[in-house]
Structure 1
Amino acid sequence: MIQSLVGMFKDLMLFGSFVSVNSGFPMPLSAEKEAEYIQKSLSGDKEATEILIKHNLRLVAHIAKKYQNYPDTDELISVGSIGLIKAVSTFNPQHGAGLATYAARCIENEILMMLRAGKKHLGNVSLSDAVGTDKDGGELTLLDLLAENDENVIANVETKLQIEKIMEVIRKVLSPREYQILVLRYGIGGGPELTQKEVAKKFGISRSRKRAPRRLLRGGT
């Protein structure tokens, strides 16, 4: 359910709080510390996974700069951060590539998928929106893309398991209220998708409130 977050992050996810100023990003971990947290993350340590994500946010910003002609930097950061979460959640050091190399590929592929889909404002896109077809000719939606990246970057990762792993991370970095807004707005967990107005009314969100919850609501009227 993460790609549902595209364009709605900014300060609702851990990476959004560092979006605007590069100096605000946590410094990269030392090789020793990174190896330590990778092993902990592989063992199911959610805090270690979160730390790895936080300390690789500079990589998202660095890759996003390659697309400086794109009008919405926040959106690039949000989309690239999805790739970072996927990378950290599925990284396997036994495959040979380092985390930064693997994450860079995931981040860039996530941004390229967004650009190819031609969605300038992904915050207005539903999880059920078709963005292409799979190799068998079937319709491919944003929800389908959630668990698999382009080409071989996250090949052979079972969709359901990856969604569950990523959602565990998202649940940790969103406040309970923000997470509930997301669940209601996009029908996560099998419930109906509420409109922006319905969710705003339920939570009493007005235009004067902070931007992050409003971004969560985008995608309908």
Structure 2
Amino acid sequence: MKTFQKPLTAEEEACYIQNLQKGSSEKAREAREILIERNLRLVAHIAKKYQNVDEDMEDLISIGTIGLIKAVASFDASKGKLSTYASRCIDNELLMLIRSKRKTSKEVSLYEPIGTDKEGNEINLLDIIETEQVDVIDRMELCSDLKKLARLLEKLEGREKEIIFLRYGLETGREVTQREIGERLGISRSYVSRIEKRALGKLKRGFEKES
């Protein structure tokens, strides 16, 4: 266990956001990495809310980090705080993960039981959505480190990497459906799904290997 770096001050955050949006490519890349790394406490905290929903914590951390990456990429400083916006993006990614695991012929209800809290009380998706967000957490495993995820993404094969970046909007902030990706690449939706699953498996194994 290692302690996360402290969150940025409001002034520091504003400076890095300015560099991200208007600085040179080098400054923008550096600002992006710092904004993500210094907000990893937020990812860890939100992921902990889902630890009783029968999902592996490493999966929750990696998917939550994707939400953070998307938040930084698409954030508009004129519309509020980064932490508030990022919280919604992280929650959205984790909720999509849960829905995809539980998906049947019907949509998942916000009132559908998805687990229990530490006191044994039943919780549902609505409980999680309405939970007040906290910006900090003291400790979480090193596997959530952004630089590790970035290294693992770079190790994916060409088509795997392309599909993951499109699917989760890692560059544009806009998610692309499997069907849209299939049409763009000239392959079937089911083949896109298999490649995506294989790529996520590689990311998970990479986290486990480096932990």
> What is the TM-score when the length of structure 2 is the normalising length?
0.52
Query: Aligned partners of 1:213, 1:101: CA distance in 2, in Å?
Result: 27
Matches within 5 A, 1:74-89: 74-89=58-73
Kindly state the Cα deviation for residue 86 of structure 1 after the two structures are TM-superposed: 0.6
* Structure 1 residue aligned with 2:206: 212
Superposed displacement of residue 63, structure 1 = 0.4
Which of 31, 34, 50 is residue 67 of structure 1 equivalent to?
A: 50
Q: CA RMSD in A?
A: 4.0
Q: Is the 8 A contact 2:36 2:68 kept in 1?
A: yes
Structure 1 gap ranges (5+): 1-20, 121-131, 133-168, 200-209, 216-221
Relative distance call for 1:187 and 1:39 in structure 2 (3 A) is closer
Q: CA deviation at 1:90?
A: 0.5
Determine what percentage of the aligned residue pairs are the same residue: 47
Conservation of the 8 A alpha-carbon contact between 2:58 and 2:207: no
Question: Post-superposition shift, 1:113?
Answer: 1.0
* Aligned twin of 1:39: 18
Task: Give the match's secondary structure for 1:114.
Answer: helix
* Cα shift at 1:190: 4.4
Query: CA distance change for structure 1 residues 38 and 186 in 2, over 3 Å: closer, same or farther?
Result: closer
Q: 2:121 is matched with which residue?
A: none
Higher relative contact order (CA 8 A, sep 6+): 1
Contact 1:181 1:213 in 2 (8 A): no
- Once the two structures are superposed, the pairs formed by residues 108-123 of structure 1 within 5 Å of their partners are 108-118=91-101
Match of 1:183 in 2: 158
Deviations 1:55-74 (A, max 9, x none): 00000000011112134000
**Counterpart position of 2:118:** none
- Pick the aligned partner of 2:31 from 23, 48, 72: 48
What's the offset of the Cα at 1:185?
A: 3.9
Distance change >3 Å, CA 104–CA 187, structure 1 → 2: closer
TM-score, normalised with respect to structure 1: 0.50
Q: Which residue in 2 is equivalent to 1:174?
A: 151
In the superposition, relative to structure 1, how do residues 88 and 186 fare at CA in structure 2: closer, same or farther (>3 Å)? closer
